[in-house]
Amino acid sequence: MKILISSASFGKIDLKPVEILEREGYTVVLNKNGRKFTPSEFNELIKDATGLIAGTEKITAELLEKAPVLRVISRYGVGMDNIDLEAAKRLGIIVRSTPVAPSQAVAELALSLMLNISRRVSEADRNLRNNNWTQLMGRLITGKNLGILGLGRIGKKLAAMVQPFGMKIFAYEPYPDNDFVATNGISLLPLNEVLSRCDIISLHLPLSDDTFHMIGKKELSLMKKDAVIINTSRGGLIDESALIEALKNRTIGGAAIDTFEKEPYIGELTNFENVLLTCHMGSSAIETRRQMELETVNNLINALKEVKS
């Protein structure tokens, strides 16, 4: 049986997960293109695949309907907004993901972006490389108000990480873990109040119909003029055109963005000095990727065994 791995980064760090699949008797087809498959490539490769290890590429109903023997999709990552789950269910395809493994790495990236943009580290680095020795005046994060939108696994880890900085934590979370909130001194507030009170806003919510463009012109206008917004979750949570307008009008102080609606990103956000951009690298830590790949493979194998039993 054939296992198609559409994620171009899978197996780059360690071939052990691929070897596990081969020992189980599966024929593994890796994506060696260094990019996402084109629609025609995907259509051709998936048509005889029993299992799919998927990255962030779109898994549409049309694609799934061209895969008559596909039984399991094992998502190499957390979010499943790129997969047509209704179509998968209708076609009897099991879908699994790895929500636990990336949490630490994404939370650490959010913290690093918070520190970087507050102290203008990347901006100073660019200046120095251009022979411009200028000591830029930044801000401390110590004692500031941090707004966390989404207190799931990643939001919780970030809340724990910033405790030594003495930050006051405000959070928006529709389904809160009240014990965690109480233990960590977090104030739960409506979205608008979190936005208006905080110096730093960090997004940690899944993308859905309810959360798509949840941060738009109105929401950005509520933020402090020197506040920054950080998104290591999903690009669609922020209305990019509204963010660009807010930056141009100096409605907010800056932004640090790791995920975008269209990737690879090419757009106007690259023109702002007070914007820090990274290339969807929340889980890009060696330790995390090894764990994710093993979990992804184990999820696939176990699900295929379920189908057989």
The domain tally of the chain equals: 2
Catalytic one among 62, 263, 268, 287?
263
Active site residue 234: yes
Q: What is the mean pLDDT of residues 270-285?
A: 97
Q: 269 and 148, same structural domain?
A: yes
Q: How confident is the model at residue 51 (pLDDT cuts 50, 70, 90)?
A: very high
Q: 269 and 129, same structural domain?
A: yes
Active site residue 280: yes
Q: DSSP characters for the chain? A: -EEEE--TTTTSS-SHHHHHHHHTTPEEE---SSSPPPHHHHHHHHTTEEEEEE-SS-B-HHHHHT-TT--EEEESSS--TTB-HHHHHHTT-EEE--SSTTHHHHHHHHHHHHHHHHHTHHHHHHHHHTT----------TT-EEEEE--SHHHHHHHHHTGGGT-EEEEE-SS--HHHHHHTTPEE--HHHHHHH-SEEEE-----TTTTT-B-HHHHHHS-TT-EEEE-S-GGGB-HHHHHHHHHTTSSSEEEES--SSSS--SGGGG-TTEEE--S-TT--HHHHHHHHHHHHHHHHHHHHHHH-
Q: 89 and 156, same structural domain?
A: no
Q: Domain span at residue 83?
A: 2-101+286-308
- CATH no. for residue 232? 3.40.50.720
Catalytic one among 197, 234, 240, 293?
234
Catalytic one among 120, 204, 280, 289?
280
Q: 295 and 207, same structural domain?
A: no
Q: Per residue in 58-80, pLDDT tens?
A: 999 999 999 999 999 999 998 89
Active site residue 129: no
Q: Tell me: pLDDT of 107 over 90.
A: yes
Q: 115 and 252, same structural domain?
A: yes
Q: How confident is the model at residue 308 (pLDDT cuts 50, 70, 90)?
A: confident
Q: 157 and 58, same structural domain?
A: no
Q: 213 and 133, same structural domain?
A: yes
